[in-house]
Amino acid sequence: MLVHTLESVGLTVSGASLPLGGPKHRALLHYLALRANTVVSVDELLAALWDGPPPRTARKMVQNVVSELRTGIAAQEWYAPEGARPRRLSQVVLLTHGPGYVLRVDPDEVDALAFDRLGHDGMALLEAGAEAEAPHTLRAALALWPHATPAHGPAARWPERRRLERLREQLVRHLAAGAGTVLLLSTESRRGLADAGTAFGHEMRLAEEIRAQIDHQQGTVCTEFGSLRVAVFPEDPTTARPGLERARAAADAVRATLSAERRTTVTALLMPDRVIHGGRRRVPAAVVDEGLAALAATAPGTTRVHTSAAPAETAA
């Protein structure tokens, strides 16, 4: 049996929907499913199911709704797979426990709980730098909730539901991947500097000039490590100029400025048509590793366009 709560509330067995009743039945199942395997008191249910003070008969109404839901769950026996002996399945059980009720269910049988687990697993993989695995896990989570369906009725104010909606927004942002050009810039000063303080100030000025040129071309600096800068120029539909053109213009401007005024050698590597994470303009680690290897093979002081599928183009 599957318990659905994300886009619509329901129970299915072998693809067939089980009878549930009216809005209160669905709301109660929804709330218990979000807190599956946890005892939920009647008082908590009253607060969750009614926006204002519940009616005097609310407790009796909850008892009746639970009883009718149990009847629906018991209907599992009528939906056994074709050819199998009809039997009552036991994936979902609604129990009375002390002062309240508990929905006993395998968490993976509740779409909201499976979504929550996969979403957090994917985010953890992303933070750990597992760029190949993370998108797959995030997409598996969003496959359970493909449309941004808002909750209706009392569920719209439940903290448990709002937390899931925020998680979905986060996943969508991180999967908003798009094509763009990645730019790696390596700088090397050709003149000695008197002391460490002067050298530090010099590097800070270099960094400011590089950031200014990249920003002017609508790029974003993602990484600055010593003499290396990594930036991205996304293919922006609001901009007529392609990302590669803007990245080359930034690299040329940096080379012209620093080579003339600072006697600094600037080596630039352009990597067009790379997938970047749109929400954070994040360059995948695998792309950076590929770029570093190609940058090491690039003649100092040049700008080179690197692609994996075609010979590289080199410009002095």
pLDDT digits (tens, 9 = 90+) for 259-315: 765 578 899 999 998 877 765 567 888 888 999 999 999 999 899 999 874 444 444
**Token duo for residue 32:** 């218990």
> What are φ and ψ of residue 272, in 5° steps?
-80, 160
- Which CATH superfamily groups domain 177-315? Nucleotide cyclase, GGDEF domain (3.30.70.1230)
List b or e across 79-91, with b for residues whose CB sees 16 or more CB atoms inside 10 angstroms.
beeeeeeeeeeeb
Q: Is 127 exposed, middle or buried (0-12, 13-18, 19+ CB in 10 A)?
A: exposed
Domain boundaries, the chain: 2-174, 177-315
2-174 folds as Arc Repressor Mutant, subunit A (1.10.10)
pTM over 0.95: no
**DSSP-derived secondary structure letter, 282:** B
Residues near 25 by Cβ (< 8 Å), separated by ≥ 6? 65, 68, 69, 72
In the three-class reduction of DSSP (H, G, I as helix; E, B as strand; rest coil), residue 252 is classed as helix
- Token couple for 303: 């700008």
Q: What single letter denotes the amino acid at residue 253? A: A
Report pLDDT for 59: 95
pLDDT tens string 148-179? 888 888 999 999 999 999 999 988 877 777 78
pLDDT for the residue numbered 2: 87
205 to 185, 195, 208, 209, 262: CA distances (angstroms): 15, 16, 5, 6, 10
pLDDT at 192: 56
